[in-house]
Every structure is written in structure tokens, then in C-alpha cells.
Amino acid sequence: MTAYNTQNEEHRGGLFTSLSFMIDGKIKKINTLKICQVTAANADGTVNVKKMVLNLDGNNEPLPATEWKNFSVLQPQGGSGAFVVSYQPGDIVLVGFCDRDPQAVKRTRKEAAPGTQLTFPLSSGIVLGAVYFNAPSVYVKATDKVYVVGDLDSPFCSLL
């Protein structure tokens, strides 16, 4: 058996290149945040998305994006009060990924072991909010005052 010779630059470069390639491959499998476009809004409140920053093949050509289905949507809520946003196809959103598979918690709404041993799985994606958006025509704005722009449609509005 031959000992590793640190003086052999060719050997060292080969080992370094191989290790770098393996580490780079593992890092690329960690899903953290992705810019996506909503492709469909589903009746259950989830959305389908496709990523907008494409992967490249070995020739630096972009690979087509695949659609990911039934991603949960972050909804600012406390108790029974919520601010509900209905994402529409074409909206550009930021998607975050959980470090462990949350499917059992999603299904039971209770503490649970991860559904798989995967880390940062694509199936754990949650839409965090819109990014790179056009100016809205209906909105609530809070500064030193609260502004509501758009038609109000609620029983409370008839009292005003």
C-alpha cells in the first residue's frame, strides 16, 4: 500500500478535485430558499410552483423547471384571526424548506417524528411570501395610520 505523498501535486490535485466535487454535490442537494412562480392555486389553500432560477447541464444550458405540487402557504395568524392572501398563477414567491420532513405535523397538527430521514426535502416547501411583485391595486398599509385601498366587502362596512 502506498502512502499518500503530499509532494505529488498531481495526486493531491486529483484528490482535492474529487473531494470538492463530492462536497459540492451534497451542498447542492440542500434546499434552503428558492424563487418560484405560482403555477396553480389549489382549492385546499396550497399552491403549485416551479423554480425560476434554472439548473444548468454540463454544457451550461438551462434545464427545464419541473412543477412542485401542493406547497403550504405561510399565513400570518394568531388564534382565529388571520390575514389571508390568495396567491394567483404568475405570482413570484419565495419558498423556504424545512430542515426535516414536516408531513406528519402537517397531517396531524401535533408533535411528530419526521416523516422521512431526508434533510431539507423538496416536499417540505412552504411559500413565505411574494417577491418581485407589481404594485397591488388592493391592499392594507400600516404606517402611523392604517390605510385600506380597494373595495371593502363585509357586514361591518355597512355600519360605517
The predicted-structure confidence for 91-110, as pLDDT tens digits, reads as follows 999 999 999 988 888 888 89
SS3 content of the chain, % helix, strand, coil (to 5): 20, 30, 50
Cα–Cα distance between 50 and 39 in angstroms, integer? Answer: 7
Nearest to 29 by CA among 92, 117, 119, 116: 119
Residue 156: pLDDT band by 50, 70, 90 thresholds? Answer: low
Please tell me the predicted confidence (pLDDT) of residue 116. 86
The set of cell numbers assigned to 88 is: 394567483
Please tell me the predicted confidence (pLDDT) of residue 77. 87
